[in-house]
Amino acid sequence: MQKSIVKIENLSHKYSANWAIRDINLEINSYGIVGLLGSNGAGKSTTMNILCGSLNQTEGNVYINGINFRDDPMRAKREIGFLPQSPPLYMDLTVDEYLMYCAGLRHMSGNERKGAVKEAKERCGIAHFSNRLIKNLSGGYRQRVGIAQAIVHRPKVLVLDEPTNGLDPNQIIEVRALIKDIARDRVVIFSSHILSEVQLLCRDIMMIENGRIVFEDSMDAFNNYIAPHSMLVHLNNMPAIMELEAIQGVMKADLLTEKLVRLFFSGDSGIAETIVNESVNKGWRLQEITLEKNSVEEIFKQLSQHQSNNIS
């Protein structure tokens, strides 16, 4: 039986008398990018800090590549790389000096370090800056150095907190491509408040709100979580708006052009078929129906509100 790369069981943590997270469960069995979403104060940072071994949980267990953090924290941490929102860079060191230092912090032997640093530099596209001071690198290349320190010890799990924050559009594209490449042979847990960024990069998604998981599934399932409630209908012979609004299930009709109307409906899955039949029977000459999906932001908002209502 294949062991999980990451497994979180009934994870809970409290600060003073308040629970920051409660009964978090997660299992990741294959390489790829998993998005971690949550609003400010939702419990996302607490979960990441526990996962990286910088915070001891109140309850529950965390397993990294089959190793329980409680039983063998040093061995578990060897399987994790972490890039916090502000990369932990020493600006007056060269790229080589810094990465050799980071490899030493990971308890790599002297013989291992040189090869590991070379591999990390090549993977992150910074080999040509080996002898340059980090303070003289651009923001995009500093971020690459930050990622290189997180993978220098070849971990199975990489945790990235807002890795594209503060970068310009070209740098963001480059860092995205790097993250996708790195995720081919490890689990990448990608935390961001930019939902479109998560949508572009992640295969799966976990959303935390009020300290609990409110969604855990594939990115496709997240995008389709809330069924569309509006459609664009192209009719060559447009009827009166009142006639369209009289169709069972149609709540409102907005005329956009003389041949295009937006219909808002109550969620009836058969509404499209009804429109087709009405068009045939009444000669509206239907050309096209397009269901409009909710934006990722709208899905996030509704899931958050749903969890808040359940708590209250």
Encode pLDDT of 55-70 as tens digits: 999 999 999 999 999 9
Share of the chain above pLDDT 70, in %: 91
- What's 212's domain CATH number? 3.40.50.300
170 shares a domain with 43: yes
Q: Is the dihedral of CA 221, 222, 227, 228 positive or negative?
A: negative
Predicted confidence at residue 305, as pLDDT, reads 67
Q: What is the pTM of this model?
A: 0.77
Q: Tell me: do 238 and 179 sit in the same domain.
A: no
**Whole-number Å distance between alpha carbons of 284 and 236:** 6
> Is the domain of 155 the same as that of 97?
yes
Q: Can you give the pLDDT at residue 37?
A: 87
Rounded average pLDDT over 10-33: 94
Average pLDDT over residues 88-117: 95
Domain carrying residue 259: 230-292
Give the model confidence (pLDDT) of 180-216 as tens digits.
999 999 999 999 877 778 888 999 999 888 899 988 9
Output the CA torsion 234→239→240→242 (10° steps): -80
Assess if residue 301 is contained within a domain. Answer: no
What's the whole-number mean pLDDT along residues 133-149?
Answer: 96
Residue after which a domain boundary falls, among 175, 205, 222: 222
Domain final residue pick, 185, 204, 222: 222
| Whole-number Cα distances in Å, 177 to 20, 83, 119 | 33, 16, 17
Q: Report the CATH number at residue 272.
A: 3.30.70
Q: Are strands 6-15 and 18-28 parallel, antiparallel or unpaired?
A: antiparallel
Would you give the DSSP letter of residue 135? Answer: G
Cβ count near 66 (within 10 Å): 12
Q: Are residues 263 and 162 in the same domain?
A: no
Based on the fold, state whether residues 196 and 144 are members of the same structural domain: yes
Tell me what pLDDT residue 195 has.
77
Tell the burial category of 26 from Cβ atoms under 10 Å away from its Cβ (0-12, 13-18, 19+). Answer: buried
